Structure 1
Amino acid sequence: VTSGTNADGSTNYEVATAKDVNFDKVTVGSVVVDKSSNTIKGLSNTTWNGTAVSGQAATEDQLKTVSDAQGETDKFAVKYDKNADGSANYNNITLAGTTA
């Protein structure tokens, strides 16, 4: 804390923090950064609106949505047989199911 004098003669107190500080928890609006759980909660970008914002992290909710959609797509994909070494054999596929 440093003190100075304002133009009208009153005292001005200036408070500053160190350049590097450590906090256990920081709340800004509804966003909470918690040191003990290493989490960030209260983000507003929890649903995908189709437009990417560069530099903005995905939430677990968004990743789950993508994972679920990929799982549904995978159900209908052609799957190649595997070679002995585990790589895809692009010359063979095995179809399963019953005919209509």
Structure 2
Amino acid sequence: MTTETNEERVRKIIADRKSGYPLLNKDFDWFIQQAERAQELEELNISLSEESRGNFQAASKYKRENACLREALEEIKFQTTFVETSDNVLEAIEQALKGE
């Protein structure tokens, strides 16, 4: 197995061609493999971009929901100041507001 990079391989093929050597079948095969790999990576990139976009939209939705829930808890906490409320309820509200 070689540690030759793609760039080194292309440079070698170009240099060989400039020196008058023909393009070998193994070079054709390598170019085809590189094109196929590039296509696979492009498809993966598209798939990951779509997944990322979906994750961003979900995160935005959850942030909005969190804001609504926080607002509701703040209102409940405020309303409990007017009514006798058990310490457990107040503690649960405080923990929820802290994110515990």
**What TM-score, normalized by structure 2, do the two folds share?**
0.32
**Higher RCO, Cα 8 Å, sep 6+:** 2
- Which protein is bigger by CA-based radius of gyration? 2
**More strand per residue: 1 or 2?**
1
**What TM-score, normalized by structure 1, do the two folds share?**
0.32
